[in-house]
Amino acid sequence: MTPPVEVLEGFGVGGERPVWLGGAWRAGSLALKPVDFAPESRWRSQVLAALPESPDFRLARPVRAPDGTWSVQGWEASRLVAGEPDVRRQDDVLRAGAAFHEAIAHLARPAFLDLRDNPWSHGDRVAWQEVPLQGSPAALELLGPLVRARRPVDLPCQTVHGDLPGNVLFADGLPPAVIDWPVYWRPPSWAAAVAVADALCWYGAAPALAARWSHLPEWGQMLVRALIYRIVTHDVAQGAAGWTADQLATHRPAIDVAVAFAGES
């Protein structure tokens, strides 16, 4: 859905022609997209607007509407940042994520997390045993080794970015830019494990990527939970029909890696 004229005018780019970027619409110097969950959007905008500059990462700063709010007719806007995602640079993605997590470690747990209800939040809760596990036969088959390998952990939680791959942009001569922040309250090593799991499943990463980050706390258990999260989310969003042969084949090697690291710990 293209941003309506009223939204463009509300954010001061009424004379611009929107261009689809693949995850948002570019209009002038802004990126616009529909608000998924208003409480999260407001909280995230307030945090990102106040976060100090860092030499280690850049941010897509949110833009206020003329009335001082963070949205116009259900749309939010941020400043465009230079760069493109590069799925070959997963170690750099993880380092940018670590710097970003250090910068937001002081934040209190946002109350909206108790209200958010979508496939991703459900998958997250299942991974951490906060709601029961249910799923299609194909999903349950994939999940079996992960659930058997899952053990209790005792790690401090903080706000983290739950979808780093594809949301870290690289530009020559500039620090990486962290964009499109889905907020979770989990250990930072879990967020890193989600990035590694995604890289193993979708971006052609070798198991050596997981080994390079195995110094992170409870690494095997974080990989186990990361894959449970992704598998359950996919199952809720796509249903049984979403488990094509390719989908199953991409997950199985990553599951083997996670279970192996969980066994070592």
123-173 pLDDT tens trace: 999 999 999 999 999 999 999 999 999 999 999 999 999 999 999 999 999
Per-residue pLDDT averaged across 74-95, rounded? 96
DSSP letter for each residue of the chain: -PPPHHHHHHTT-TTSPPEE-SSSEEETTEEEEE-S-HHHHHHHHHHHHHSPP-SS-EE--B---TTS-S-BTTEEEEE----EE-TT-HHHHHHHHHHHHHHTTTPPPPGGGGT--SHHHHHHHHHTTSS-----HHHHHHHHHHHHH--------EEEES--TTSEEE-TTS--EE-S--EEEE-HHHHHHHHHHHHHHHS---HHHHHHTTTSTTHHHHHHHHHHHHHHHHHHHH-GGG--HHHHHHHHHHHHHHHHHHHH-
**How high is the pLDDT of residue 67?**
87
Residue 66: pLDDT over 90: no
Q: Nearest CA to 44 among 99, 113, 102, 95?
A: 113
Instruction: Give the C-alpha separation, 93 to 96, whole Å.
Output: 5
Mean pLDDT, the chain, rounded, equals 96
**How high is the pLDDT of residue 45?**
97
Share of the chain above pLDDT 70, in %: 100
Q: From the CB of residue 20, how many other CB atoms can be counted at a distance below 10 Å?
A: 9
Residues whose CB is less than 8 angstroms from the CB of residue 1 and which lie 6 or more positions away in sequence, other chains included: 34
Per-residue pLDDT averaged across 214-232, rounded? 98
Instruction: Give the C-alpha separation, 214 to 208, whole Å.
Output: 10
**How high is the pLDDT of residue 265?**
64
Per-residue pLDDT averaged across 206-235, rounded? 98
Share of the chain above pLDDT 90, in %: 96
Residue 118: pLDDT over 90: yes
Instruction: Give the C-alpha separation, 219 to 196, whole Å.
Output: 11
pTM across the whole model = 0.96
- Which residue type, as a one-letter code, is found at position 100? F
**How high is the pLDDT of residue 113?**
98
